[in-house]
Amino acid sequence: MRWKKTITMVEAHAEGEVGRIVTSGVIDVPGNSMLEKMNYINEVDDSLRQFLVFEPRGYAQMSTNLIFDPINEKADIGFLILQSDKAHAMSGSNSICLVTVLLETEMIEMHEPETIVILDTPAGLVRASATCVDGKCERVTLNMNPSYADQLNAIVNVEGLGKVTVDIAFGGIFYALIDPAQFDLKINPENARQLVDIGTRVHRAVNSQLNIHHPALKGLEGISYTMFVGYDDDGVMKGATILPPGRIDRSPCGTGNSARLAVMEARGQVKVGQTLKARSIIDSEFQVEIVSKKIIAGKSCILPKISGRGWIHGIHQIGLDPSDPYPLGYKVADCWGDAFDLLS
């Protein structure tokens, strides 16, 4: 075997959503902050993301996470989330995967009954509290980034659908939140393909028609995802985040529910300290809560808390033979959907 590049990953999932953690083979990415590192990948050199994410070394239904020494001296670890379209600033499910892997592989020492890990992300510091029993990280609770409702009841003209109403909110990244009742749909696996198609069309429309940018964090412009938001028959919150190139997040979604809580708080539908359940399309669950409120960069923000479980399910090593004709991989619409305009 004559690989010229070798990368090792520990694979985990958080309530169904796969997040691979690169543990060796990547030294660093240029940048003096995690935000600058993210922007370097998105704006200067995207080859590492493509190598890790695209086939044959990756697949659509997962994320790959890079870890670094933290730049913020208050943090224990820095990380970036690589997905099908670009590097993203924050992810709750990937943070849960990351903390689970760090503690259960002893990359960071585990303390029972609780271990605190501070994450340095492009969206700011995130405090993770891991409940640990007999060497197992049983649950991770995240104090998420300040989140806020940006535009309520915004109207976009969507190809093939006409006028669609969305809420725009920030939960570590920007979302367009969609009520599926507009399309007479429920959030269940049988409707997954329809939800993806509608969510992808709305994604294109929102980013072309609405002005969305973070007041303080450069490079956080436009929505990253759409998210359908509804309720199960028992009244539990249910959601389906639609990610490029056209798939549904298997977890309830940490950043998405942070954005959703911000919208709910703006409408008086949830109070500070109230704990709720948030359910995914496969019925896995997060616990979600608003811890407090504050003003940041002139915005009224909530401070959300998201709690869920992660499990390690594999160790994966990939490499590159110098003669391989696909050093940056490839993507085909049968698995990757037809939303290639949302991909790099």
Token digits for 303?
């401070």
Q: Report the alpha-carbon distance of residue 227 to residue 229 in Å, rounded.
A: 6
- Of 253, 258, 280, 284, the active-site residue reads 253
Would you call 335 a catalytic residue per the annotation?
no
* 3-state SS class at 303: strand
* Structure-token match 């008086």, residue found: 268
Q: Report the alpha-carbon distance of residue 169 to residue 238 in Å, rounded.
A: 17
Q: Report the alpha-carbon distance of residue 77 to residue 118 in Å, rounded.
A: 7
Would you call 91 a catalytic residue per the annotation?
yes
Question: Quick one: CA dihedral 29, 218, 241, 79, positive or negative?
Answer: positive
235 contact partners, CB below 8 Å, separation of at least 6: none
- Of 91, 147, 224, 280, the active-site residue reads 91
CB 305 within 8 A of CB 127: no
C-alpha of 52 from chain center: 17
Residue 109 per-residue DSSP state: -
Active site residues: 91, 253
